Structure 1
């Protein structure tokens, strides 16, 4: 993936060359195909180039035109429409780069132009005359944009490390935030692991001039039923056409496409549609699947190989690769990843690394991920019944009830209780009912005992209840169940880790065009034919293998992850002994109790998926490991 960076001193002080070299060095892995730099005495804008699209071979970023300078990390869709609006000549259309299209759109239409741009982008435009910086991030938040602004100096970058290591940047680990993230009781998506380093939110623009910093949200998803879609058949047909169009845009000019493949609807849809499109131009699809080792299949673990092979039988131009769970280790390159990302990594980091490594071995630069498809095309969150009831659409509600009951073999009264009555009950009633019936509200509350200070535990319990209430009442929302409006859908980690393998990830099922289309559909279409994810099942008929299209048993897929962690028992044990020797960690987590919890976890029989407490323990371990890495970093 490409990268952008910059330093602007709004008080006019000269920049030191070592600051710029530091950022260039920390981002060098993202520029295998070129590096660019624009300099003034108090301004530096930089670019690191990974060539992926056909026109990117002509990219000479940063660009300067008519007193404006842009550096952009961008992959634009609907390029023809943009070029039509700008009057780009036929001779220039195959060569003009995405950053240059952004700059010319800004010059012609002003700062509001971003609302009409589709694709993944993060950019900064410097107005030399006004001494003003205009920055923006794409609507879905795919491309990262991080910044630091203190004492008149503004620093921005695609990655944390490039900012943290600049000498004048005043920062430190924000362990309070990191602990809240580990316990999943945090809702501050604009904050990062480092104090004073902020991320611009999705669909936000930012203007910096002198001492003023102005943020503006330029796009907001909103449900509005489109009456021009007369039937379910039309909707499913339009959905298929749109997915094909999106995937054509995301793979434009590529002969070799990568797809991380499981046996589900999300990755299956991407793999099958992409394989058909690639076949038409003699291209191939490289799939990488994390699977169980057939010779060491753990008891009770879920294996997706049957479904993966169904896709492979259907397409001759798919070249499969497999990452077997017996080959993986939780601690693989863990501290190296901390050194690269300057942040806590996710609990499946070792699987991601193995998958990216396979793609790199095939020289794949474009990888299509199905992440967030369960919000959009394969939506599993939206409950249509409350909305049908509130709008008096009783006949539609009744028909849907009967259809779901028949297809899922669930009694009508059970569906009514779970999906109609329950969403309207007050939270306190449900919480009390669960407590009286001996049901844990959530295991995360129990794990708060790991925090050594009672006052902090009580505060986090209150925060947790607030989040639970918000999630509880989310059944009565439409927009928030089609796109996570109050969250940061994409953090920097996948973007950063994949960049070390010369891979650019895109997310076709998180495309703005798809979200806007779904926000216009009648809510009952999301339960079409009485089946969860019914619309995509109808839309992909004849595309997906039937055993995938109609399957109902898909659960959280974690092939052998528990066995992988257990196999690292000795490393866990040794590292926790080291943690016990570092007394300052006791202010963060009560280590003796944590030691007991993690050893209980390693002895447990949970295999097919991780429960909430499982994730909390593993993420807490990663938090402590990250602090140990940071201790070593400070000691030099």
Structure 2
């Protein structure tokens, strides 16, 4: 984890070094170990350094090659260092330092704009290519490292956090109402837009070239939907899984100091811990110290202490149990610090855990993030069983789940994927179910064409199964990018680099090609993972069928932030239907007070409303002063009312 910045005055105006220095220092929390700045006429690159690997101790960024024509600023980690170095040396490119920054710059020197295809790991980087007078930007395959950019014809600006861009005097702060609508609808479809007009994110697995001929964006990697893995035995699948998962964990253990791991007691995080311990004991990875950190909830249903303790006893791990604090008070400070949507309560509840890890000298932490994404099943298996005529298996699966889900929910989810898209649209029109929730103001929804935005999906693709389609659409969703950025931001606030073995590119390529019976076998989700971890997990964890649920953190957040008062007078009343919103909160609060699990489905839209309200009032601050109030009224007049008139023409 580091912080990066790039600025190019496209009109050739020389850059005052004080500006990029200030914008780089905005993200000093991402790189407390040093700052670097390179300015060359109209171009500037900035960097904030966090030492997290042995090689990073020798790294100075921005990094220039010996010719002076190429200069790089990198936030990232290269996981295939040995293979990449060998490939470069075969091409006659010798390394001077062997740092990750040099590997990336040499890769660009060797393969040009195709270089990200050869790099495995988490990264976001910018290279100034003086020979061709262009900036080359790239982001890793899942968007583990953030990358935001702004361009207005006079300048190009990019960085690790939104606040860097918003601090530039030429960047105007205006809400992106279309994206606001997606948040309020709990359906973030865009991978590129942000909550600010004119500021974009580079999508995962994409490059962006800025040069004399303009802007060119390319996708350099995608999941292979035609690949299908078929073995004769469960053991063969488990062996392949173990090989890939072992490497995914091993390459993420590269550190110059002690490593932490978030251990929840669930199947995913426990598997990461088990594999890491196995590697340490085999001396397959250097052991600089390893400690787990766990949130515990004494007396609550979501407490997983019994499973956490079983993992600790199996491996004899040094561990810390951390009670949850009130995480919701920090949500508003997060907005002020990052100028973005606040963390979900089930993310910010990890703040005490990250503080404990930081205080123990941890800079690198492993997580189980991604396990649900790539090994999960969900409803689509029903659709595949129905389509393929596996009636007995289908009935067995339905009988197993109907108690928790109900027949209506199962059949709706089972049949919906089989309907042609035009039938979906006709049904929505006939029943006025255009996908826009009732708590969103109808005029606002029309103005931003919200129904059309919510229907947008990646282009038609061939899928082997509906399960595969479900996983692919998750990968291509804006929600996935948003969640990955939120997870990264949560840990970066505390100077910790989180690493996610389940998001390894090689592992994802394997998981998307798995047959359904390796994802789910009877009541056992993630069947292949359970098989592969037979010797590395306690049986209580490996055979566990339950999963902790944290919807109560959302309900508690509303009360902590003011309860009903939150929804009495909304500054975002031009975006939401205030009466519907208050009714939604009353219903949620009543169900929660009665211990009715129906409250859970209502917490999500309410938090999106609260998050947007909090973001809007703190960034645009419509009522704190006469000047700001006037500015807010001007915004409404120039953007909202104008668009209302246009929509009636």
| Distance (whole Å) between structure 2 residues aligned to residue 483 and residue 463 of structure 1 | 15
Match of 1:487 among 477, 486, 499: 477
SS in 2 for 1:144: coil
SS in 1 for 2:348: helix
Q: Does 1:46 align with 2:46?
A: yes
Matches within 5 A, 1:134-283: 134-210=136-212, 212-225=214-227, 229-253=231-255, 255-279=257-281, 280=283, 283=288
**For the structure 1 residues 432 and 313, does the alpha-carbon distance in structure 2 shift closer, same or farther, using more than 3 Å as the test?**
farther
| Distance (whole Å) between structure 2 residues aligned to residue 608 and residue 312 of structure 1 | 32
Task: Give the match for residue 375 of structure 1.
Answer: 373
SS in 2 for 1:6: strand
**For the structure 1 residues 400 and 77, does the alpha-carbon distance in structure 2 shift closer, same or farther, using more than 3 Å as the test?**
farther
Task: Give the match for residue 631 of structure 2.
Answer: none
Structure 2 gap segments, 5+ residues each = 629-649
The C-alpha deviation readout for 1:158-185, integer Å capped at 9, x for no partner, is: 1100001100123412244123213223
The C-alpha deviation readout for 1:211-240, integer Å capped at 9, x for no partner, is: 510011111111334568443211111211
The C-alpha deviation readout for 1:405-461, integer Å capped at 9, x for no partner, is: 999899xxx999799767535689899999x9x9x999x85x523426376399545
Q: Is the 8 A contact 1:451 1:590 kept in 2?
A: yes
| Distance (whole Å) between structure 1 residues aligned to residue 98 and residue 189 of structure 2 | 40
Q: Is the 8 A contact 2:20 2:45 kept in 1?
A: no
Q: CA deviation at 1:619?
A: 1.6
Q: Does 1:548 align with 2:541?
A: yes
**For the structure 1 residues 174 and 607, does the alpha-carbon distance in structure 2 shift closer, same or farther, using more than 3 Å as the test?**
farther
Q: CA deviation at 1:386?
A: 5.8
**For the structure 1 residues 469 and 306, does the alpha-carbon distance in structure 2 shift closer, same or farther, using more than 3 Å as the test?**
farther
Q: Which moved more, 1:537-546 or 1:610-619?
A: 610-619
Match of 1:535 among 524, 528, 547: 528
**For the structure 1 residues 559 and 547, does the alpha-carbon distance in structure 2 shift closer, same or farther, using more than 3 Å as the test?**
farther
Task: Give the match for residue 636 of structure 2.
Answer: none
Using structure 2 for the length normalisation, give the TM-score.
Answer: 0.82
Task: Give the match for residue 72 of structure 2.
Answer: 70
Task: Give the match for residue 360 of structure 2.
Answer: 362
| Distance (whole Å) between structure 1 residues aligned to residue 557 and residue 410 of structure 2 | 41
Using structure 1 for the length normalisation, give the TM-score.
Answer: 0.84
**For the structure 1 residues 540 and 138, does the alpha-carbon distance in structure 2 shift closer, same or farther, using more than 3 Å as the test?**
same
**For the structure 1 residues 630 and 400, does the alpha-carbon distance in structure 2 shift closer, same or farther, using more than 3 Å as the test?**
same
Task: Give the match for residue 293 of structure 1.
Answer: 298
Q: CA deviation at 1:309?
A: 2.2
Q: Does 1:621 align with 2:610?
A: yes
| Distance (whole Å) between structure 1 residues aligned to residue 505 and residue 83 of structure 2 | 16
Give the alignment's Cα RMSD to 1 decimal. 3.9
**For the structure 1 residues 32 and 607, does the alpha-carbon distance in structure 2 shift closer, same or farther, using more than 3 Å as the test?**
farther
Q: CA deviation at 1:43?
A: 0.6
**For the structure 1 residues 600 and 522, does the alpha-carbon distance in structure 2 shift closer, same or farther, using more than 3 Å as the test?**
closer
**For the structure 1 residues 406 and 260, does the alpha-carbon distance in structure 2 shift closer, same or farther, using more than 3 Å as the test?**
same
| Distance (whole Å) between structure 2 residues aligned to residue 227 and residue 46 of structure 1 | 44
Q: CA deviation at 1:480?
A: 4.7
| Distance (whole Å) between structure 1 residues aligned to residue 307 and residue 174 of structure 2 | 46
Q: Which moved more, 1:423-432 or 1:205-214?
A: 423-432
| Distance (whole Å) between structure 2 residues aligned to residue 403 and residue 245 of structure 1 | 36
SS in 2 for 1:11: coil
Q: Is the 8 A contact 2:149 2:165 kept in 1?
A: yes
Q: CA deviation at 1:147?
A: 0.6
The C-alpha deviation readout for 1:541-600, integer Å capped at 9, x for no partner, is: 121221222222326x2174256336526x3455555x45x5xx3212233543443244
| Distance (whole Å) between structure 1 residues aligned to residue 393 and residue 288 of structure 2 | 42
The C-alpha deviation readout for 1:344-375, integer Å capped at 9, x for no partner, is: 11321531322321221211111122222112
The C-alpha deviation readout for 1:456-501, integer Å capped at 9, x for no partner, is: 3995456556779999x99636255267342243333332332221
Aligned length: 607
Task: Give the match for residue 561 of structure 1.
Answer: 553
| Distance (whole Å) between structure 1 residues aligned to residue 40 and residue 295 of structure 2 | 48
Task: Give the match for residue 85 of structure 1.
Answer: 87
The C-alpha deviation readout for 1:105-124, integer Å capped at 9, x for no partner, is: 11122221211211111111
Q: Does 1:339 align with 2:341?
A: no
Task: Give the match for residue 24 of structure 1.
Answer: 24
| Distance (whole Å) between structure 2 residues aligned to residue 95 and residue 382 of structure 1 | 50
Q: Is the 8 A contact 1:375 1:483 kept in 2?
A: no
Q: CA deviation at 1:338?
A: 0.8
Match of 1:515 among 505, 508, 512: 508
Task: Give the match for residue 316 of structure 1.
Answer: 316
